Structure 1
């Protein structure tokens, strides 16, 4: 049975939960009130979704077990991939069991296709192609692929009754799988010196972010991030500025603010003070100011808003 859903999100944490069965965590990077939308058509073995967000977001995601996913931006270079083998102007190819790490531009518009791995393998066999082992695929025209799949979503949204036609659904699934399979190409051209330099910077950023997450961002320090990558403070600074456009200290502060918001939304704490201290903010006034500047509301407003949502849930 085909399911159609639309989710409106008030925070990056709600947005991260909008794709069913995915293991995701988002951090809001740009300042201002967040707004996000996810529209999804679930054909059971294949899901076609459109994700739109008004803020710059750091994404960490893994597809469901046994699935492979394609992340297709509306505009090339709209996503900065932090995986070493991903280059700009490529579609993200994500396998279950792997961790996808990327940064979106502000006001991002992305189509996500999630399908069972065997469906992709079968389509590639018909095309006599091998499935790439790298983390990304080169696509000749990213915008054209996006427009075809985004147009299909628009058609279904305008005429949802067509999903009652089983033949149409089968043709649609076959069309989506074929489009994704044909988009795959092996790019054997060697990397130039600039690309190699960017990959080195990405490796530094990803390794230091992973080290901070593993230690807990509330306990992580710049010294830990530097030791993990075995680089000087200056090189770490250059890498973050080049890849993410922010300093490592700014990234760490944003990660802690996002942790505090997750704690407040999940009702892990009943007071703002406890949430601030748990995220290593010892000055409550500065914490509240930074929090409001990033999320467009005070931590007290977040606590009250999501406590109210919990209170409205029916008793089980």
Structure 2
């Protein structure tokens, strides 16, 4: 999928799409230049939607999903992201392993090259993407230097409720009215609000940027799961590959995700199967004609165990997924 040039000067454009699997959302992020992997973390049929508004130097993204999603990978270094949750559904929300407090803004640290977060079923994320050069240009409007210092040292800000609601309103995607300046006005207002909220005089609580080393083992496990999604491995094989003990990886994985490492690896493989079954074109490009062919390719040798696990995770039989693709 060809990357979108987010910073290009172009007419306002609002596009939307629905997604039925975490890997479809992965494809969306990669179209924006973010090398992120997405994993469905709760069982049941997944229903999600993405809405994007692009114009000038601001891209707004709205993501809704009825299942919990784990997102991990490389950010797009050309942009600073400002992300918030619109609903009160935050029980499973984690940013770098930590729960999110109310009225909080996330993802804006310019010193981090990776993203690592999890959402709650029923969440609605709003994200604003601003070119990093545009953010740096605002330094002239902040003689104290607190504005850029906040972005360099923090990744989470707990804002006063009124500030949070103003930023939340500016990150919403709405159809522009006739003769409305739209996105450019939104960008100007958003920048002004960010300058105010992150100033020394304002009561924003900034958390220190997370240490990538803290969750390095878990991020390595997620990366390993995708790179080895065609193999059914034992826990000992996984531990040897990522240089850890079974106790350490099991405790760490359960602490962060609430499930063991082998379940996480199996879910990644199941989602690879689901993604292929959702498209006849993908099946044909792999040279496969049956569900069992695809299942075996991703390391599932037992037909019965595969069908059971697939139904438990996605809320439907693999045959139903394939029939929907053919409709």
TM-score range, shorter chain: 0.7 to 0.9
SS at match of 2:300: coil
Matched, 1:21 2:32: yes
Matched, 1:176 2:195: no
Q: Deviations over 1:214-239 (max 9, x none)?
A: 34463554224323554321221111
CA RMSD of aligned residues (A): 3.5
Measured after TM superposition, the shift of residue 181 of structure 1 is 5.1
Residue 158 (structure 2) aligns with: 140
In structure 1, distance between residues paired with 2:28 and 2:266: 25
Residue 19 (structure 2) aligns with: 9
Is the Cα–Cα contact under 8 Å of residues 51 and 111 in structure 1 kept in the other structure?
yes
In the comparison of the two structures, how many residue pairs are matched?
A: 296
SS at match of 1:161: coil
In structure 1, distance between residues paired with 2:292 and 2:196: 53
1:284 to 283, 303, 313: 303
SS at match of 2:177: helix
Residue 6 (structure 2) aligns with: none
Q: Which has the higher helix share?
A: 1
Moved more, 213-222 or 44-53: 213-222
SS at match of 1:112: strand
| C-alpha spacing 1:261/1:49, structure 2 compared with 1 (3 Å) | same
SS at match of 2:124: strand
Instruction: Give TM-score, length-normalised by structure 1.
Output: 0.78
2:113 to 65, 76, 98: 98
Measured after TM superposition, the shift of residue 152 of structure 1 is 3.5
Residue 259 (structure 1) aligns with: 272
Matched, 1:296 2:315: yes
Is the Cα–Cα contact under 8 Å of residues 126 and 171 in structure 2 kept in the other structure?
no
In structure 1, distance between residues paired with 2:17 and 2:161: 25
Matched, 1:275 2:294: yes
2:131 to 116, 126, 130: 116
Measured after TM superposition, the shift of residue 7 of structure 1 is 2.3
Is the Cα–Cα contact under 8 Å of residues 94 and 100 in structure 1 kept in the other structure?
no
Is the Cα–Cα contact under 8 Å of residues 212 and 225 in structure 1 kept in the other structure?
no
Measured after TM superposition, the shift of residue 42 of structure 1 is 1.3
In structure 1, distance between residues paired with 2:324 and 2:76: 30
Measured after TM superposition, the shift of residue 199 of structure 1 is 6.8
SS at match of 1:130: helix
Matched, 1:203 2:216: yes
In structure 1, distance between residues paired with 2:213 and 2:162: 27
| C-alpha spacing 1:143/1:245, structure 2 compared with 1 (3 Å) | farther
SS at match of 2:133: helix
Measured after TM superposition, the shift of residue 251 of structure 1 is 0.7
SS at match of 2:127: strand
| C-alpha spacing 1:190/1:64, structure 2 compared with 1 (3 Å) | closer
Residue 314 (structure 1) aligns with: none
Unaligned runs of 5+ in 2: 1-10
| C-alpha spacing 1:124/1:307, structure 2 compared with 1 (3 Å) | farther
Q: Deviations over 1:113-162 (max 9, x none)?
A: 1121111111244223335345x5231228656533442455x63x6315
Is the Cα–Cα contact under 8 Å of residues 56 and 104 in structure 1 kept in the other structure?
yes
SS at match of 2:259: coil
Residue 161 (structure 1) aligns with: 177
Residue 34 (structure 1) aligns with: 46
